A and B are shown apart, each in its own frame.
Chain A
């Protein structure tokens, strides 16, 4: 039994390493529900990692809006943000960045990590194809 516990203790840090910095940054805040969906499937060959942040209440949502400079009161805001500082809006430059989508109605922000052009294109195709259906 002791050996089993030792193995489990060794596996825990491995699991922690798989969590992104973005996930860790928000997961410690009590009024935010946070999830990291690793390997979210966009099509048969392309997957991305997604961090979802859901505010429990209006105060938490307002804090998120201020932190990420989200304007307006309804609909969605979408932009490409820097990996380390998602609030910074950037144009697609081939480097790793985040597609950030903020939904006012759901008080939710989704961060879709894009590492390459294939993922960038697949994400756009996913949005277009799903909206057509």
Chain B
């Protein structure tokens, strides 16, 4: 049974009230359900990631937008501070 065929059957089962039986008897149902859950989870993860990035940007101090660095150990704010200090020397 293709997914389209199953979808039609599912709609019919919902109308006629035998969807529970279909869940119990159709072996592909679980896989279909898992695929749907995976897609929803992946979409949610992307949304959460975007929100986190936006929140992080909003929380950054306003005196710089973004810092790229080739080392760990120095914070973005420290680099921005150095950019200001060099100008004042």
A32–B4 CA distance with the chains assembled, in angstroms: 60
Given contacts A3-B42, A4-B46, A52-B79, whether A39 and B86 have CB atoms under 8 Å apart is no
> Is A85 part of the contact surface with B, judged by Cβ < 8 Å?
no
Give A62-80 interface residues, CB cut-off 8 Å to B. 75-76
Question: How many chain B residues touch the partner (CB < 8 A)?
Answer: 25
Residues of A within 8 A of B74 (CB): 33, 35
Report yes or no: B68 in contact with A47, Cβ–Cβ below 8 A. Answer: no
Q: What's the nearest-Cβ distance from chain B to residue A28, in Å?
A: 8
Q: What's the nearest-Cβ distance from chain B to residue A91, in Å?
A: 20
Which B positions have Cβ atoms within 8 angstroms of A?
42, 45-46, 49, 62-71, 74, 76, 79-80, 82-84, 86-89
26 sample A-B contacts, Cβ–Cβ < 8 Å, listed by A number: A1-B42, A23-B68, A27-B70, A28-B70, A33-B69, A33-B70, A34-B69, A35-B67, A35-B68, A35-B69, A35-B74, A35-B82, A37-B76, A38-B68, A40-B63, A47-B65, A50-B83, A52-B83, A54-B82, A101-B89, A106-B89, A110-B82, A110-B86, A112-B83, A123-B87, A130-B88
